[in-house]
């Protein structure tokens, strides 16, 4: 079966309006070297039922987390529990179908939800103002770098290799267009070894970092201030249950990935970019900001406010060109975090930390398994294995476990393992037993 969106009559009418005689003449300006001389070698079309059947077979070959594999993988996407209240509230039709709240008189519900979301992000990160979200953690980091460059007038940015490598790749890609100079800062025993001198616009550190190690954010903040730079911290929202907030340790901008709250593991997205900064940078805040005000009758109301219109009318001079956000994911994040509350968040983080410690100590007792770093960890840790990490992951699948993420040569190989509050002691014990067999 073939689907052609335009009839012959429509094509002829289009060509006539352009003064052309054929479709070939329409594409005559395309150089011959760029054309496919023999066409595209595609298989014949199939009936809809046949296509559906084939993709059902493809899907059946997968072993999804929760129904086929017990997940000990992390590296930025984590298998956390999502309370049923999240789906019940966040996926009500009023949120799912809501459009951009340009007209506050018909969008108070969405605007209030986003205002509450911003409030919780500020409390998590210990900063003054948060936006109404960005696409994901990587895009939030790019916006933080742009803000720091605009605020300081400097072009060089120091980025720790403890920052997620995918995030660093996104920063490097965007920097190729903006002209920022990105300097990678090496790790020493899993922690960032900052240079003592220089003139960067920002120091960018992740804590806990990609290897799960808790960085010295306070020391990085002191160094940033001595260099006249901003401190940008990529923070884990779960760790806020146990660790001091980055803002209280000197961070000027804090970004993060909101996936642990409200977003299941789902082939890479959609996810949620968290972004907060100090009040003095509010005019450079990317994207949307929802504020509280009073309507004409003196009642509390919510509106989009301080939106950086330069991103629309002064594009080449703007510090940000982001015009949208992840409203639905932000609402899910809000519901999940509000449901937990302060005590629930602490309990969740503590369960992760205790499970991680138990699992790490058990694995390090296995012959040939060594720690990649001796630094303290919270929910994630890396180990060296006597067998290649990729081989261990493959063998563990047969035992019913997604064992972790194999690290690249940049980190000296090894396996990155995450333990969330969903992992029971029985699952961890079974994981360690299978792991010991896999590394023999």
> Model confidence over 216-236: pLDDT tens digits?
999 999 999 999 999 999 999
At residue 5, the pLDDT reads: 85
58-74 residue pLDDT tens: 988 888 787 789 999 99
- Report the candidate in 410, 417, 416 with the shortest Cα–Cα distance to residue 186: 410
Q: Are strands 380-384 and 415-418 parallel, antiparallel or unpaired?
A: antiparallel
- Give 384: exposed, middle or buried? Use CB within 10 Å, 0-12, 13-18, 19+: middle
- Say how far apart CA 240 and CA 67 lie, in whole Å: 30
Q: Is the model's pLDDT at 434 over the cut of 70?
A: yes
What is the average pLDDT score of the chain?
93
Q: Are strands 380-384 and 370-371 parallel, antiparallel or unpaired?
A: antiparallel
At residue 37, the pLDDT reads: 77
Q: Is the model's pLDDT at 1 over the cut of 60?
A: no
Read off the pLDDT of each residue in 243-270 and give the average, rounded to a whole number.
95
- Say how far apart CA 127 and CA 144 lie, in whole Å: 14
At residue 319, the pLDDT reads: 77
Q: Is the model's pLDDT at 250 over the cut of 80?
A: yes
CA dihedral 56, 60, 63, 67 (to 10 degrees): 90
CA dihedral 100, 106, 109, 111 (to 10 degrees): 50
| Secondary structure class of 329 (helix, strand, coil) | helix
116-174 residue pLDDT tens: 999 999 999 999 999 999 999 999 999 999 999 999 999 999 999 999 999 999 999 99
Listed in sequence order, the DSSP H helices in 179-322 are 217-227, 310-313
- φ and ψ at 274, to 5 degrees? -95, 140
At residue 3, the pLDDT reads: 66
Who wins on pLDDT, 316 or 215? 215
Distance of CA 114 to the CA centre of its chain: 19
At residue 4, the pLDDT reads: 75
In order, the DSSP letters of 380-404 are: EEEEE-SS-HHHHHHHHHHTTEE--
Q: Is the model's pLDDT at 251 over the cut of 70?
A: yes
- Say how far apart CA 393 and CA 250 lie, in whole Å: 39
- Say how far apart CA 180 and CA 200 lie, in whole Å: 10
74-102 residue pLDDT tens: 999 999 999 999 999 999 999 998 888 88
- Give 371: exposed, middle or buried? Use CB within 10 Å, 0-12, 13-18, 19+: middle
At residue 390, the pLDDT reads: 96
6-23 residue pLDDT tens: 999 999 999 999 999 999
| Secondary structure class of 207 (helix, strand, coil) | strand
| Secondary structure class of 419 (helix, strand, coil) | coil
Q: Are strands 187-188 and 253-257 parallel, antiparallel or unpaired?
A: unpaired
- φ and ψ at 235, to 5 degrees? -110, 155
Read off the pLDDT of each residue in 388-401 and give the average, rounded to a whole number.
96
Q: b/e for 284-312, b at 16 or more Cβ within 10 A?
A: bbbbbbbeeeeeeeeeebbbbeebbeebe
Q: Is the model's pLDDT at 312 over the cut of 70?
A: no
Who wins on pLDDT, 224 or 27? 224
For the chain, the structural domain boundaries read 70-81+341-438, 84-335
* Percent of the chain's residues with pLDDT above 70: 97
CATH 3.40.190.10 fits 70-81+341-438, yes or no: no
Q: Is the model's pLDDT at 106 over the cut of 50?
A: yes
| Secondary structure class of 233 (helix, strand, coil) | strand
At residue 83, the pLDDT reads: 97
Which residues are within 8 A (CB) of 215 and not within 5 positions of it... i.e. 6 or more apart?
A: 160, 162, 191, 192, 205, 206, 207, 208, 209
Who wins on pLDDT, 395 or 267? 395
Judge whether 261 and 336 are in contact, CB under 8 Å: yes
At residue 2, the pLDDT reads: 59
pTM here?
0.88
| Secondary structure class of 232 (helix, strand, coil) | strand
CATH number given to 84-335: 3.40.640.10
Q: Among 38-52, 82-96, 114-128, 398-412, name the one with the lowest average pLDDT.
A: 38-52
Q: Is the model's pLDDT at 42 over the cut of 90?
A: no
Judge whether 146 and 158 are in contact, CB under 8 Å: no
């Amino acid at each position: 079966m073939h689907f052609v969106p335009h009839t012959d009559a429509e094509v002829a009418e289009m060509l006539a309006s352009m003064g052309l005689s054929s479709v070939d003449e329409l594409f005559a300006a395309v150089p011959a070297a760029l054309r496919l001389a023999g066409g595209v070698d595609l298989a014949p079309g199939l009936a809809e039922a046949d296509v559906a059947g084939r993709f059902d077979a493809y899907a059946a070959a997968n072993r999804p987390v929760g129904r086929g594999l017990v997940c000990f993988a992390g590296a930025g996407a984590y298998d956390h529990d999502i309370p049923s209240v999240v789906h019940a509230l966040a996926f009500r039709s009023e949120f799912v179908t809501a459009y951009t709240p340009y007209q506050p008189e018909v969008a108070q519900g969405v605007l209030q939800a986003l205002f509450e979301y911003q409030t919780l992000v500020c409390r998590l990160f210990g900063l003054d103002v948060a936006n109404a979200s960005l696409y994901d953690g990587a895009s939030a980091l790019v916006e933080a770098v742009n803000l720091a460059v605009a605020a300081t007038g400097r072009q060089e940015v120091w980025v720790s290799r403890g920052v997620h490598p995918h995030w660093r790749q996104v920063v490097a890609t965007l920097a190729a267009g903006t002209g920022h100079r990105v300097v990678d800062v090496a790790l020493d025993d899993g922690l960032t070894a900052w240079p003592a001198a220089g003139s960067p616009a920002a120091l960018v550190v992740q804590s806990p970092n990609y290897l799960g190690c808790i960085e010295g954010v306070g020391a990085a903040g002191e160094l940033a201030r001595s260099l006249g730079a901003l401190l940008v911290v990529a923070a884990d929202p779960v760790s806020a249950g146990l660790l001091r907030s980055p803002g209280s340790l000197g961070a000027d901008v804090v970004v993060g990935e909101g996936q642990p709250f409200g977003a299941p593991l789902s082939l890479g997205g959609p996810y949620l970019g968290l972004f907060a900064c100090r009040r003095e940078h509010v005019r450079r805040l990317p994207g949307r900001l929802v504020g509280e005000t009073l309507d004409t009758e003196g009642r509390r109301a919510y509106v989009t406010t301080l939106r950086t219109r330069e991103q629309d009318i002064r594009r080449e001079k703007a510090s940000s060109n982001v015009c949208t956000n992840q409203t639905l994911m932000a609402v899910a994040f809000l519901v999940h975090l509000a449901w937990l509350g302060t005590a629930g968040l602490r309990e969740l983080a503590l369960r992760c930390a205790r499970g991680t410690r138990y699992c790490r100590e058990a694995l390090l007792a296995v012959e040939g398994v060594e720690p990649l770093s001796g630094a303290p960890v919270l929910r994630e840790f890396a180990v060296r294995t006597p067998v290649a990490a990729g081989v261990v992951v493959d063998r563990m699948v047969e035992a019913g476990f997604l064992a972790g993420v194999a690290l690249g040569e940049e980190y000296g190989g090894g396996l990155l393992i995450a333990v969330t509050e969903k992992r029971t002691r029985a699952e961890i014990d079974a994981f360690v037993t299978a792991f010991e067999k896999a590394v023999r």
